[in-house]
Amino acid sequence: MTHDSKDQRGFVLTLQAREQHIRRERATSNICTNQGLCALAVTVYLAVMGKQGLRELALFNLRKADYLKNKLSKVSGFEIQFSADTFNEIVLKCPRPANEIRDALLEHKILAGLPLGEYYPELTNSLLLCATEMNTVESIDRLADKLETV
């Protein structure tokens, strides 16, 4: 139970998918099944990683992001948008619209990140980039090299 802005009583579902309260044959989506699969995948992953493995992975990702940040800060015409510490994401300010940079890199089979201008107009020429255990040093170097040429 909650109250709205006019102090009228109302009831809401919190942290529940609406389909949990609909008969299966009337449900219009399989969101509950998907939520269950995602929860199961996370549970298995965390159980396999363990406390120490998860800590090591976080430190590994921190080093990868730091490598990405340092490498891209040296690319002519581009700059790291924010100087605060980061975990595995950085915002890269581009010399021209981020959509153009992303599309040019896609031609080289590089998924360059998310152009932020649609969500944050003040970051029109910025890309959100991420480095995780899935990114190799070679792929980060390749991204930096291609940024020099696009």
Q: Which domains does the chain have, with CATH numbers?
A: 50-149 (3.90.1150.10)
> Percent of the chain beyond pLDDT 90?
71
pLDDT tens by residue, 60-94:
999 999 999 999 999 999 999 998 888 889 999 99
Q: What is the DSSP string of 36-95?
A: HHHHHHHHHHHHHHHHHHHHHHHHHHHHHHHHHHHHHHTSTT-EES--S--SSEEEEE-S
**pTM for the model:** 0.72
Indicate the pLDDT class of residue 24, thresholds 50, 70 and 90. low
Mean local confidence (pLDDT), 26-33? 61
**Both structure tokens of 128:** 């959100």
Structure tokens at 1: 């139970």
- Reduced to 3 states, what is the DSSP secondary structure of residue 10? strand
Q: What are 118-125's contacts with CB under 8 Å, separation 24+?
A: 123/81, 123/91, 124/97, 124/98, 125/93, 125/94, 125/95, 125/96, 125/97, 125/98
